[in-house]
């Protein structure tokens, strides 16, 4: 059983579109959507939820105004400016450290557990999918990503699947780090722009920092073929294999509007390239 | 001496739990007296640093060796600092593990076997 | 006035809009790139960098000579960032600190009965400040391998002044975005009229409503996709401040790191008009 994550550094390069397209070709796999901040994979895979549960993580302080003696100790010790002068805790700023509750001489502060999201195990026309939704404005996305990863791996092992294919998120912070942990390879989707190359370089460094092998896909490469060549040169210089180059194709958006992956919509240069990419991944990743 | 085996159940026929920090039970065995105690793992739903907490608890209880499936980097650091022997890759029933340990069938692990958050499962089992 | 530019979905055109806006308004403007994980605005602005300084976060350091392994620090730590290993007949006690789990709340230091804990610092990234014309540019870059962006974002935002401030936010809807948007007088949400764009726009709108920040939408690549985004804005009473149709020439210009108003100066008027509308909406 092998695990592949699709990341990008920069947002909007086409991770989710590619992940869904690979889902349409790959056999015997479990899909995992680890972009829990702004999950989109379900828009193409139309999951039928079979199992769901709440995700609880972290705490928020609450001041009981009946017991509070207005001494201000909590406001004094809070390093996150989360308690205002009416002794109301701002849920967004509160980090749940509990310092205020421990320091309060009147015992007026309680720490309440946050329900910060929900996770799901679903069936799709392309096989099982594990996904999650972090409530807007919450933190601890890294932990929710780890949960999705673990459930997907467990499901794949239990059902004898060959692959876990993971849709990652943009950036390089904890959700990305959690989504690349322990995978066999990270496929980086980039675009032929200066921003794309700059950001891909950073995410390559993060993957290598955590000993994860990387491969590259250049998406929309014909929007600036010269820049695409620069990216190819960068890859050669850094020992990164390019799995494929996909041209800008309006049919991808046409298919998306209909809730389909391009693999189910048409047969053209793009679909052939994506099939080649999957063949490369199947043959080369160990 | 006291050793600890991470377990999915609370008795000798239970299977080893492959996780350390977030395992279901800690089964503590006194190899001198033969005494066996199964402890419910109250740490397992914690937010973070669960491996550290569980590791520290082993030290507090005077455990000399931990036998489990996997140990993450923070838990490994904590157990090593306490001078506790760490054995990973362990499977089978608790009873089988005790026998094998007593006959010297296990090697100590030189480091953590998995990355962080290996055991994160959410609030209910699959 | 602080105007932030956010999106929900990545790659919709936040940096295009934030840099375009900054280059269209009368100076002095402060452009602050808060996407510390993957900052891009500097590629387009090409600022004259004048200052670079490291940013640190706090973690506790144990004074071994004073620590008696009482375990109080471990008791008060909500994150298990400190573990006290009791001594035994073979070895003395040890107090272990795990800095990457520490949130810097300071409880351990406060409650230690032996005053054995003091603040230590580790670097998580750096801030660069510079100028472009008569304007100021600030951004932060998170070190590779660091998990948490918000402490660096807070340090970057501390440098914002009282004049016109434009914040380029990261994609998403969780803590790095919240930290970037906090204190804004208005937020521009940049989207694309596709199912992904709309899905994430709805999440971003929910966030802004919860934060109580007035907002409006810019639809980028406005002629590609479907009509659902425009419909959604209309039915929710969300003002569409600007539309940028798809143009391969704009994409090419962007790919080279050229700000949109440099190759397409006609957009300067659109950005200025948008700013005029924002000034009215922000003060209501």
Sign (positive/negative) of CA torsion A88, A93, A99, A103? negative
Mean pLDDT, rounded, for A194-215 = 94
Evaluate whether C244 touches C13 at the Cβ level (below 8 Å). Answer: yes
C38 — alpha (psi -120 to 50), left (phi > 0) or beta? Answer: beta
Residue C91's pLDDT band (boundaries 50, 70, 90)? confident
Q: Is residue B86 part of a domain?
A: yes
- Average pLDDT value for chain C: 95
Asked whether B48 and C79 are in contact (CB, 8 A), the reply is yes
**Residue B84 domain-assigned (yes or no):** yes
Q: What pLDDT, on a 0 to 100 scale, did the predictor assign at position C87?
A: 83
**Separation in Å, CA of A200 to nearest CA in chain C:** 9
Q: Are residues C77 and C31 in the same domain?
A: no
What pLDDT, on the 0 to 100 scale, is given for residue C283? Answer: 73
If asked whether residues C202 and C246 sit together in one domain, one would say yes
- Closest approach of chain B CAs to the CA of C83, in angstroms? 6
Residue B126: what pLDDT?
28
CB C131 within 8 A of CB C45: no
CA atoms within 13 A on the CB side of C59: 16
Residue from the list B52, B77, B83 with its beta carbon closest to the beta carbon of C91: B83
Of A161, A117, A175, A202, residue with least CA distance to A27: A161
Q: Do residues C68 and C145 share a domain?
A: no
> Looking up tokens 């390089």, which residue turns up?
A172
Distance in Å, alpha carbon of C88 to nearest chain A alpha carbon: 30
Is the domain of C264 the same as that of C185? yes
Number of domains comprising chain C:
2
- What are the pLDDT digits (tens) for A133-175? 988 777 778 889 999 999 999 999 999 999 999 999 999 998 9
- Are C85 and B77 a contacting pair at CB < 8 A? no
| Residue C101 sits in the same domain as residue C198 | no
CB C170 within 8 A of CB C138: no
DSSP A10: S
Q: Which range marks the domain in which residue B57 is found? A: 2-102
Please give the tally of structural domains in chain B: 1
Q: What is the mean pLDDT of residues C179-205?
A: 95
Place of tokens 């039928």: A48
B1 has a pLDDT exceeding 90: yes
Nearest to C80 among B50, B62, B81 (CB): B50
Could you say which of B45, B119, B123 has the minimum Cβ distance to residue A53?
B123
Contacts of A137 in chain C (CB under 8 A): 173-174, 178, 207, 210-211
Q: What is the pLDDT of residue C111?
A: 97
B21-41: pLDDT as tens digits = 989 999 999 999 999 999 999
Question: A15-25 vs A269-284: helix axis angle to the nearest 10?
Answer: 80
Give yes or no: residues C190 and C73 share one domain: no
Tell me how far apart the alpha carbons of residues A34 and A149 are, in angstroms, rounded to a whole number.
8
Whether residue C69 is found in the same domain as residue C187:
no
Of C115, C132, C152, the one marking the end of a domain is C115
Domain with C84 in it: what CATH number?
3.30.70
Q: Is B125 helix (H, G, I), strand (E, B) or coil?
A: coil
Structure tokens given for B114: 């998995």
Instruction: Tell me the torsion sign for CA atoms A223, A229, A230, A231.
Output: positive
Indicate if C231 and C199 belong to the same structural domain: yes
CA distance C221 to C225: 8
d(CA C176, CA C215): 18
Expressed as residue numbers, the domain containing C74 is 64-115
Can you list the domains of chain A with their CATH numbers?
2-46+125-284 (3.40.50.300), 58-115 (3.30.70.20)
Contact status, residue C142 vs residue A176, Cβ threshold 8 Å: no
Write out residues 16-75 of C within 8 Å (CB-CB) of A.
37-38, 40, 43
Task: Check residue B121 and give its pLDDT.
Answer: 61
For residue A134, the chain C residues in CB contact (below 8 A) are 173-174
What is the spatial distance between Cα A146 and Cα A134, in angstroms, rounded to a whole number?
13
% pLDDT > 90, chain A = 86
Indicate the range of A31-35, C85-89, C124-128, C195-199 predicted with least confidence: C85-89
pLDDT value of position A140: 74
Write the Ramachandran bin of A285: left for phi over 0, alpha for psi from -120 to 50, otherwise beta: beta
Gap between the Cα atoms of A138 and A116, Å rounded: 6
Shortest CA distance from C191: residue in chain A: A12
Residues C144 and C201 in one domain: yes
Q: What pLDDT is stored for residue B124 in this prediction?
A: 35
* Assigned domain for B82 exists: yes
Based on the domain organization, do C198 and C277 belong to the same domain? yes
Residues C189 and C217 in one domain: yes
Residue B115 lies in a domain: no
- B37 found inside a domain: yes
C-alpha distance from A159 to closest chain B C-alpha (Å):
13
Confidence of residue B118 (pLDDT cuts 50, 70, 90): confident
- Which CATH number do you get for residue B6? 3.30.420.130
A182 CB-near residues (< 8 Å, 6+ apart)? A3, A149, B114, B115, B118
Q: Where are the alpha helices (DSSP H) in C28-119?
A: 41-45, 72-76, 107-111
Output the pLDDT for position B17: 92
Residue B39 in any domain: the answer is yes
Q: How confident is the model at residue C174 (pLDDT cuts 50, 70, 90)?
A: confident
- Note the pLDDT of residue C284: 64
Q: What is the DSSP string of A25-89?
A: H--SEEEEE---SS--THHHH--EEEEEEEEEEEEEEEE-TTT-----HHHHH-TT--B-TT--B
Rounded-to-integer distance, Cα A129 and Cα A123, Å = 6
Looking at residue A56, its pLDDT comes to 86
A205: contact with C, CB 8 A cutoff: yes
Nearest chain A residue to B118 by CA distance is A150
pLDDT tens digit sequence for B56-73: 999 999 999 999 999 999
List chains touching A (3+ CB pairs under 8 A): B, C
Residue C9 has pLDDT above 50, yes or no: yes
How much is the pLDDT for B43? 86
Within a domain: B120? no
Q: Which range among A139-148, B86-95, C236-245 shows the weakest confidence by mean pLDDT?
A: A139-148
Chain centroid, CA A54 distance in Å: 18
Cβ separation C83–B60 shorter than 8 A: no
Same domain? For C136 and C217 the reply is yes
Distance CA A80, CA A88 (A): 13
Q: How far is A253 from chain C (nearest CA, A)?
A: 6
Using the CB atoms, write b or e for B24-35: b if 16+ within 10 Å. Answer: bbbbbbeeeeee
Q: What is the CATH number of the domain that holds C131?
A: 3.40.50.300
pLDDT tens per residue across span C56-85: 999 999 999 999 999 999 999 999 999 999
- In sign, the C-alpha dihedral spanning C172, C173, C179, C185 is positive
Confidence of residue A58 (pLDDT cuts 50, 70, 90): confident
């Amino acid at each position: 059983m092998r695990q592949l994550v699709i990341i990008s550094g920069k947002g909007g390069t086409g991770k989710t579109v590619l992940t869904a397209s690979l889902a349409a070709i790959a056999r015997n796999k479990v899909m995992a959507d680890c972009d829990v901040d702004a999950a989109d994979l379900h828009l193409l895979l139309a999951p039928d939820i079979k199992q769901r549960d709440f995700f609880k993580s972290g705490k928020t302080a609450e001041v009981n105004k009946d017991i509070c003696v207005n001494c201000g100790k909590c406001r004094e010790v809070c390093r996150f400016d989360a308690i205002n002068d009416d002794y109301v805790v701002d849920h967004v700023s509160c980090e749940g450290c509990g310092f205020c509750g421990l320091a309060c001489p009147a015992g007026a502060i309680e720490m309440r557990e946050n329900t910060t999201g929900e996770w799901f195990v679903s069936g799709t026309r392309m096989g099982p999918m594990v996904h999650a939704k972090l409530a807007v404005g919450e933190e601890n996305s890294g932990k929710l990503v780890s949960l999705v990863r673990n459930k997907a791996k467990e499901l794949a092992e239990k059902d004898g699947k060959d692959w876990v294919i993971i849709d990652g998120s943009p950036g390089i912070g904890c959700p990305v780090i959690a989504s690349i942990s322990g995978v066999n390879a990270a496929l980086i989707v980039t675009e032929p722009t200066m921003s794309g190359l700059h950001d891909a370089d950073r995410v390559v460094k993060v993957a290598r920092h955590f000993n994860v092998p990387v491969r590259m896909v250049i998406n929309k490469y014909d929007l600036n073929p010269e820049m695409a060549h620069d990216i190819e040169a960068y890859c050669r210089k850094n020992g990164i294999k390019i799995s494929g180059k996909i041209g800008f194709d309006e049919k991808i958006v046409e298919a998306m509007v209909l809730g389909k992956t391009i693999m189910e919509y048409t047969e053209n240069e793009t679909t052939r390239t994506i099939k080649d990419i999957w063949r490369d991944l199947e043959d080369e990743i160990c | 001496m006291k050793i600890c085996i991470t377990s999915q159940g609370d008795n000798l026929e239970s299977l080893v739990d492959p996780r350390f920090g977030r395992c279901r039970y800690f089964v503590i065995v006194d190899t001198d007296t033969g005494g066996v105690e199964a402890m419910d793992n109250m740490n397992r739903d914690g937010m973070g640093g669960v491996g550290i907490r569980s590791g520290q608890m082993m030290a507090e209880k005077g455990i000399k060796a931990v036998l489990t499936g996997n140990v993450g980097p923070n838990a490994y650091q904590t157990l090593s600092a306490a001078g506790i022997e760490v054995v990973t890759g362990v499977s089978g029933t608790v009873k089988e593990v005790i026998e094998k340990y007593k006959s010297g069938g296990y090697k100590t692990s030189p480091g953590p076997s998995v990355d962080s958050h290996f055991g994160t499962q959410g609030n209910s089992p699959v | 006035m602080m105007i932030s530019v956010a999106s929900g979905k990545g790659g919709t055109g936040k940096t295009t809009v934030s840099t375009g806006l900054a280059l269209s308004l009368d100076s002095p403007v402060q452009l602050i790139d808060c996407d510390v994980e993957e900052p891009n605005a500097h590629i387009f602005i090409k600022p004259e960098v004048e200052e670079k300084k490291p940013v640190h976060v706090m973690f506790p350091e144990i004074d071994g000579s004073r620590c008696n392994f009482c375990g109080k620090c471990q008791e008060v730590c909500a994150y298990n960032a400190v573990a006290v290993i009791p001594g035994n007949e073979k070895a003395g006690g040890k107090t272990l600190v795990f800095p990457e789990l520490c949130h810097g709340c300071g409880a351990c230091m406060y409650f230690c009965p032996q005053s054995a804990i003091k603040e230590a610092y580790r670097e998580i990234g750096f801030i660069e400040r510079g100028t472009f014309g008569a304007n100021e540019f600030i951004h932060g870059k998170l070190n590779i391998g660091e998990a948490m962006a918000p402490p660096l974002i807070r340090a970057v935002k501390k440098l914002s002044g009282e004049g016109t401030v434009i914040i380029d936010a990261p994609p998403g809807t969780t803590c790095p975005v919240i930290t970037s948007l906090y204190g804004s007088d208005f937020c521009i949400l940049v989207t694309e009229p596709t199912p992904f764009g709309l899905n994430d726009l709805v999440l971003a709108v929910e966030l802004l409503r919860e934060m109580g920040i007035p907002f409006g939408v810019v639809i980028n690549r406005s002629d590609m996709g479907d009509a659902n985004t425009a419909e959604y804005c209309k039915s929710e009473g969300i003002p569409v401040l600007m539309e940028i149709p798809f143009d391969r020439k704009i994409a090419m210009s962007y790919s080279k790191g050229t700000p949109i108003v440099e190759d397409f100066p006609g957009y300067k008027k659109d950005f200025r008009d948008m700013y005029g509308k924002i000034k009215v909406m922000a003060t209501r």
